[in-house]
């Protein structure tokens, strides 16, 4: 994943959770077609047995890493590493999902890269697995940030990029978020529930996407088509 996603219609994206009596929406963020790291974006997570939508900083760096300066801020985390010493506490207590309409990847050589919008082939919302830290206010926003879990792309998605976000169907979100499921089991579930490459489609979009200030339906529209 190259670091941008499409979260343009937040209300539609959170209307898939019949299992929750209510989604407690505390988000103040507006929908954006061109979401970049470092921004605060709506994220679904469990708190006190209820489902909440909160604005969380995209990019995580633990408090000790911030002080030591040894590790960079992470916007993506490999599925293969989420049970290591750095991520295990978030895997236990910070499982979350990022609702989105799609994400972006770039292909080609530096200086002439072509962006692509990747989305579910059936046009349903997608829910990207994430790890987040929810703690008291900190000097660095990244100390209370989130990172998106990625896996090998596999199948046709290799045409666009070799990594992809781990995307869940709405029906599987409660299992991933369930705080009573141990970390090891949660990792196994994530591997087994992730949607396969056959579930996705993609199209080229305008290179203006590269400028984060460009936003609106035109940045997500198929190249050569009016938004």
Sign for the CA dihedral angle at 38, 20, 120, 92 comes to positive
Active site residues: 2, 105
Strand partners, 206: none
Distance between CA atoms of residues 16 and 13, nearest Å: 7
**Contact residues for 6 (Cβ-Cβ < 8 A; gap 6+):** 32, 33, 34, 35, 100, 101, 102, 103, 104, 117, 119, 220
């Amino acid at each position: 994943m190259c670091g941008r996603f499409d979260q343009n219609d937040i209300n539609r994206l959170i209307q898939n959770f019949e299992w929750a009596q209510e989604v407690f929406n505390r988000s103040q963020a507006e929908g954006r077609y061109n979401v970049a790291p470092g921004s605060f974006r709506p994220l679904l997570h469990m708190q006190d047995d209820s489902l909440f939508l909160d604005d969380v900083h995209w990019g995580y760096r633990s408090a000790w890493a911030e002080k030591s300066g040894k590790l960079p801020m992470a916007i993506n985390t490999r599925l293969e590493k989420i049970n290591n010493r750095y991520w295990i506490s978030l895997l236990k207590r910070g499982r979350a999902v990022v609702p989105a309409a799609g994400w972006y990847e770039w292909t080609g050589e530096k200086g002439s890269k072509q962006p692509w919008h990747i989305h579910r082939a059936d046009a349903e919302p997608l829910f990207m697995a994430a790890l987040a830290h929810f703690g008291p206010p900190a000097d660095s926003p990244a100390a209370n940030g989130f990172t998106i879990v990625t896996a090998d792309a596999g199948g046709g998605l290799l045409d666009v990029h070799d990594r992809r976000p781990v995307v869940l169907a709405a029906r599987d979100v409660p299992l991933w978020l369930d705080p009573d499921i141990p970390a090891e089991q949660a990792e196994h579930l994530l591997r087994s529930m992730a949607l396969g490459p056959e579930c996705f489609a993609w199209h080229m979009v305008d290179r203006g996407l590269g400028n984060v200030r460009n936003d609106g339906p035109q940045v997500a529209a198929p190249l050569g088509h009016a938004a």
